[in-house]
Structure 1
């Protein structure tokens, strides 16, 4: 029973974390999935390690807003699917360079709900001296659980186990 509770809470609150490695000059797709049948009110792709203002990509009220983008990403980031069919809010970063190495976070707000972290990608751009056009994805995909969610999961699991005994 506690496994069911964990999966339910995780389904509602967990985000996916992955690592990608590409060569300098390649285009890379940063994957993110939103609920399929929900109206996307706000989409934010951020680089928390930049320590400066600006977004990698910012979308609100049905359109991207480039004036909110960090200068280094202007003209290089676009939605993979402009219609965001089936909740696909992935973006493509064109002509990646070593300065693009870092952590990317996808945050989505649907309807009038608070923005939620949906995906974290650790991107590594290797200097190749030439462009290859190939994208390599390292296999480290996992779940990231916020500490408050982990505490709730543990408390619920303990309560369920104690009520069964």
Structure 2
């Protein structure tokens, strides 16, 4: 059984872990995160919309696990960059740049297309001020697989919120346990003195 100092260190480590996790995830704090499933051969739309009405200068859809060339689609100043990953050639497009909807349209998806896609947008006059807008996890399954019927998927934010809630509950339980242990180990209060016992023993001699 751990002693109270060791449990206190565990509580401190737990909350430091939560803080570190939140700081690491701060990059995508203002972005949309979703899971999307699709069946092989389908056309899918990975959502991404500009946060305001300013002119869209740059759009970049990337997939980090592609290695040296993670670019899936690049749009800069009204033109598409053709130097993207070869596996997406002639299969991807943007939905409607003029209306601010730069969702990635991907045709004839295959299992190898499964992965995490990130959408970056730069608006206004500064093309170098590019921001992460959405992060989409795409899962492609064979035809007939029930896992591919969901389409819309769920929000990753829900699982994140549940994780944080679980950590808080665990931390609170440990703190309550510590307090209980300290109460058990505290010395009992002194017994109340009996005035009859304090009288002289010779009171019965008379």
Scaled by the length of structure 2, the TM-score of the pair is: 0.56
Query: Which of 21, 39, 46 does residue 37 from structure 2 map onto?
Result: 21
Who is 1:118 aligned against? 133
Who is 1:89 aligned against? 102
RMSD (Å), alpha carbons? 2.4
CA gap 1:103/1:52 in 2 versus in 1, 3 angstroms: same
Who is 1:99 aligned against? 112
Partner SS, residue 71 of structure 2: coil
More helix by share: 2
Consecutive unaligned residues in structure 1, runs of 5 or more: 1-9, 146-165
CA gap 1:103/1:72 in 2 versus in 1, 3 angstroms: same
Aligned residues of 1:55 and 1:69 also touching (Cα < 8 A)? yes
CA gap 1:71/1:129 in 2 versus in 1, 3 angstroms: farther
Consecutive unaligned residues in structure 2, runs of 5 or more: 1-25, 161-206
Who is 2:89 aligned against? 74
Aligned residues of 2:64 and 2:70 also touching (Cα < 8 A)? no
Q: Which has the higher contact order (CA 8 A, sep 6+)?
A: 1
Shift of 1:79: 1.0
Q: Which has the larger radius of gyration?
A: 2
Scaled by the length of structure 1, the TM-score of the pair is: 0.70
